[in-house]
């Protein structure tokens, strides 16, 4: 059986899209055409009876644009201000377009404290389950607005990690990371023309981790290293994961039809997998 055939019958799907895929590189403004296509695809998946969760970046980028800041802020307080302004604008765009397809959405803002506290982790899982049962598409982001210097160890740091943790939390079947690159390469394809795209990964070892390169994007925070780290969590929890290019959001459909798109990380559920252990021991960063 083709390795990709396992993707055709996925029921609970988590999709992560980054800031660089949501905005125009030249201006930093929302790419509304791409967002509309993304939302139409997600709604149609929901119409097929699938559970869909969207993990989205873009709050800080949207706030930065609205506030007229030319560069990504480094100071915590400015990041928080951008997130506070941008999160509302981001959700307004999502809800407006989803409403055109008569699809109800919900906003879920998370911190790592949600995961390390037994009660809040259980409540979060129950909330996701209830929303999905009701046919709602949850839209998830990290709650950057309430992060503080004292709580840096409780920050996810990037939405690749967050999306993998959400996948594990809700017992997702597949995680699709929409990136600014086609998948995992043997080397940086922007610097090495001989770099080859890796179609599938059965095991994440040190050699493969070394192939991951940090992102040079001025918009997003996660590079390929964080995506491979996310794959460790998702696959250990029992979910397959695919990295594919977000420039063409139709890649979501191609992935779920089992087509040879992006890099597939095959699930290998770990014995006695504990999401809490992954979060607190930072195994995902190794």
Give, for 177, the enclosing helix (H) or strand (E): strand 174-179
Contact assessment for residue 55 and residue 246, using Cβ atoms and an 8 Å cutoff: no
Backbone angles phi and psi of 69, in degrees to 5: -85, 130
User: What percent of the chain clears pLDDT 90, i.e. is strictly above it?
Assistant: 53
CA angle 164, 144, 217 (to 5 degrees): 70
Residue 156 pLDDT: 57
- pLDDT of 62 strictly over 70: yes
Specify which of 24-38, 106-120, 122-136 reaches the highest per-range mean pLDDT.
Answer: 122-136
Pairing between strand 240-245 and 263-265? antiparallel
- pLDDT of 43 strictly over 90: yes
State the average pLDDT for the chain. Answer: 86
Place of tokens 């290019």: 245
Domains (range + CATH), the chain: 3-285 (3.40.1160.10)
Task: Tell me the HSE value of 18 on the side-chain side, using a 13 A CA sphere.
Answer: 28
- pLDDT of 285 strictly over 80: no
Three-class SS state of 218:
coil
Give, for 105, the enclosing helix (H) or strand (E): strand 105-110
Range of weakest confidence among 45-54, 217-226, 245-254: 217-226
Task: Tell me the HSE value of 259 on the side-chain side, using a 13 A CA sphere.
Answer: 10
Per-residue pLDDT of 160-206, as tens digits, reads 889 999 999 999 999 999 988 899 888 878 788 888 899 999 988 77
The 10 Å Cβ neighbour count of residue 258 is 16
Task: Tell me the HSE value of 80 on the side-chain side, using a 13 A CA sphere.
Answer: 9
Structure tokens at 144: 């950057």
Distance CA 105, CA 107 (A): 7
Residue 188 pLDDT: 78
Give, for 217, the enclosing helix (H) or strand (E): none
Burial of residue 73, with CB atoms counted within 10 A of its CB: 0-12 exposed, 13-18 middle, 19 or more buried: middle
Partners of 141 in beta bridges: 109
Contact assessment for residue 198 and residue 183, using Cβ atoms and an 8 Å cutoff: yes
- pLDDT of 55 strictly over 80: yes
- pLDDT of 213 strictly over 80: no
Contact assessment for residue 225 and residue 201, using Cβ atoms and an 8 Å cutoff: no
- pLDDT of 286 strictly over 50: no
Given pLDDT bands bounded at 50, 70 and 90, which one contains residue 159? confident
Given pLDDT bands bounded at 50, 70 and 90, which one contains residue 154? very low
Residue 1 pLDDT: 64
Residue 217 pLDDT: 43
Nearest CA among 222, 213, 215, 183 for reference residue 201 = 183
CA angle 139, 141, 142 (to 5 degrees): 155
Give the residue ranges of DSSP H helices in 170-222: 206-211
Distance CA 44, CA 114 (A): 30
Per-residue pLDDT of 229-247, as tens digits, reads 899 999 999 999 999 999 9
Structure tokens at 106: 């919900």
């Amino acid at each position: 059986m083709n390795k990709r055939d396992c993707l055709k019958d996925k029921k609970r799907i988590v999709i992560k899209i980054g800031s660089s895929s949501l905005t125009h590189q030249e201006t930093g403004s929302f790419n509304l055409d791409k967002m509309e296509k993304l939302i139409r695809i997600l709604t149609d998946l929901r119409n097929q009876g699938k559970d869909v969760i969207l993990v989205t970046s873009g709050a800080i980028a949207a706030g930065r644009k609205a506030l007229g800041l030319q560069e990504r802020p480094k100071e915590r307080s400015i990041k928080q201000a951008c997130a506070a302004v941008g999160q509302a604008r981001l959700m307004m765009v999502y809800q407006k377009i989803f409403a055109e397809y008569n699809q109800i959405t919900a906003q879920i803002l998370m911190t790592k404290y949600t995961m390390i506290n037994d009660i809040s982790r259980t409540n979060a899982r129950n909330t996701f389950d209830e929303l999905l049962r009701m046919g709602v598409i949850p839209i998830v982001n990290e709650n950057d607005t309430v992060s503080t210097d004292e709580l840096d160890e409780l920050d996810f740091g990037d939405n690749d990690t967050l999306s993998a943790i959400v996948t594990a939390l809700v017992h997702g079947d597949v995680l699709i990371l929409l990136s600014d690159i086609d998948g995992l390469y043997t080397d940086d394809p922007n610097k090495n023309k001989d770099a080859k795209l890796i179609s599938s990964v059965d095991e994440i070892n040190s050699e493969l981790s070394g192939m991951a390169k940090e992102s040079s994007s001025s918009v997003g925070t996660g590079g390929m290293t964080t995506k491979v780290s996310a794959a460790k969590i998702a696959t250990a929890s029992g979910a397959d994961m695919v990295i594919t290019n977000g420039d063409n959001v139709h890649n979501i459909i191609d992935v779920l039809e089992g087509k040879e798109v992006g890099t597939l990380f095959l699930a290998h559920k770990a014995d006695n997998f504990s999401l809490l252990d992954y979060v607190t021991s930072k195994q995902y960063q190794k």
